């Protein structure tokens, strides 16, 4: 039987055997702990990392079952996990294809937008739409509470639009405690805030506390996202902390609903991946 190139790559990666034409039949996977489906899932996951690219067609349940000597239901379970984790997608009438690989950025971890976008092979950019020095604007009550601002202390506030490959995907409104960041200018914020805090001020945030909810975009925000119709977004409120639980910034951000997905797995099923956020930019 003849197979296409991606499937030959899959054979080579999973079977760890020399590529010959035609291919030898692999030995069946021996049932043991972990389960057969879990062994197969791990082999398919390895193949995605080593031999596949976004947009490649992935083997069908029948082809996977034949190759590894497993049942169709076992192959379906292994492939189903890859679908659940956002690594594959089904195109109606055309089979399964490799999706843009998620970032392995955990929802519980702190990672800059620029780093996430570059990790996906895309180009980040930032536009600072508004910037206020301490005392130039009023502060929301939530910002005052979260930052624990004392009388006489100042706060920078700024509004940024973040792009991935030239498409706006996040609107950020951030309030930053001024006592830790003297002489901050608008031009300093046209990039990663985390990198700026580290390189200029020696500040290394240890984490943040976040609240996420689904919202409907207002017309001004729709225009800033360059959208044609009012749509949904993820609204994220977060407080960033220094060591010892010292609050450093408070943020209200809108993540474009059509550009972001969030994946998690609940229950007893084990997974090699934590909860992740996926940035998917339409071509």
Q: Which of 50-59, 129-138, 181-190 has the lowest mean pLDDT?
A: 50-59
Q: What value does the mean pLDDT of the chain take?
A: 79
Position 261 pLDDT exceeds 80: no
What does DSSP say about strands 155-164 and 167-177: parallel, antiparallel, or unpaired? antiparallel
Q: Where are the domains of the chain?
A: 5-98, 113-266+273-279
Contact in structure between 280 and 260 (CB atoms under 8 Å): yes
pLDDT in tens, 69-128: 899 999 998 888 888 777 788 877 778 888 764 434 444 556 788 888 887 778 999 999
Q: Which of 60-64, 110-114, 173-177, 188-192 has the lowest mean pLDDT?
A: 110-114
Distance of CA 23 to the CA centre of its chain: 37
pLDDT mean over 155-168: 94
DSSP code, position 212: E
When the candidates are 3.30.450.20, 3.30.2290.10, 2.30.42.10, 3.40.1410.10, the CATH number that belongs to 113-266+273-279 is 3.40.1410.10
- pLDDT-derived band at 55 (thresholds 50, 70, 90) equals confident
CA distance 227 to 217: 10
Position 23 pLDDT exceeds 70: no
Q: Which of 3-12, 205-214, 243-252 has the lowest mean pLDDT?
A: 3-12
| Dihedral angle sign, alpha carbons of residues 49, 50, 56, 62 | negative
pLDDT of the residue at 110: 65
pLDDT of the residue at 263: 63
Q: Which of 36-50, 96-110, 193-207, 265-279 has the lowest mean pLDDT?
A: 265-279
Question: What topology is assigned to 5-98 in CATH?
Answer: Arc Repressor Mutant, subunit A (1.10.10)
CB-based contacts of 88, cutoff 8 Å, min separation 6: 58, 79, 82, 96, 97, 98, 99
Position 46 pLDDT exceeds 90: no
pLDDT mean over 18-33: 45
């Amino acid at each position: 039987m003849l197979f296409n190139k991606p499937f030959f790559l899959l054979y080579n990666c999973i079977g760890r055997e020399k590529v010959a034409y035609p291919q030898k039949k692999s030995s069946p996977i021996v049932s043991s702990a972990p389960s057969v489906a879990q062994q197969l899932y791990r082999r398919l996951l390895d193949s995605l990392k080593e031999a596949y690219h976004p947009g490649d067609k992935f083997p069908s349940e029948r082809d996977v079952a034949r190759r590894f000597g497993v049942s169709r239901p076992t192959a379906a379970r292994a492939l189903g996990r890859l679908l659940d984790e956002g690594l594959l997608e089904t195109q109606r009438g055309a089979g399964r294809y490799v999706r843009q690989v998620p970032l392995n950025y955990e929802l519980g971890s702190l990672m800059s937008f620029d780093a996430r976008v570059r990790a996906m092979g895309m180009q980040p950019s930032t536009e600072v739409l508004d910037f206020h020095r301490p005392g130039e604007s009023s502060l929301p009550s939530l910002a005052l509470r979260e930052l624990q601002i004392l009388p006489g202390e100042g706060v920078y506030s700024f509004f940024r639009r973040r792009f991935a490959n030239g498409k706006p995907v996040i609107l950020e409104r951030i309030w930053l405690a001024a006592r830790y960041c003297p002489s901050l200018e608008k031009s300093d914020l046209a990039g990663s805030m985390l990198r700026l805090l580290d390189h200029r001020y020696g500040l290394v945030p240890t984490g943040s506390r976040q609240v996420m909810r689904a919202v409907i975009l207002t017309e001004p925000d729709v225009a800033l996202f360059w959208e044609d119709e009012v749509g949904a977004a993820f609204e994220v409120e977060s407080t960033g902390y220094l060591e010892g639980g010292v609050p450093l910034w408070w943020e209200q951000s809108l993540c474009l609903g059509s550009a972001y997905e969030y994946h998690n797995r609940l229950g007893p099923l084990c997974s090699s991946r934590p909860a992740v956020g996926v940035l998917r930019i339409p071509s």
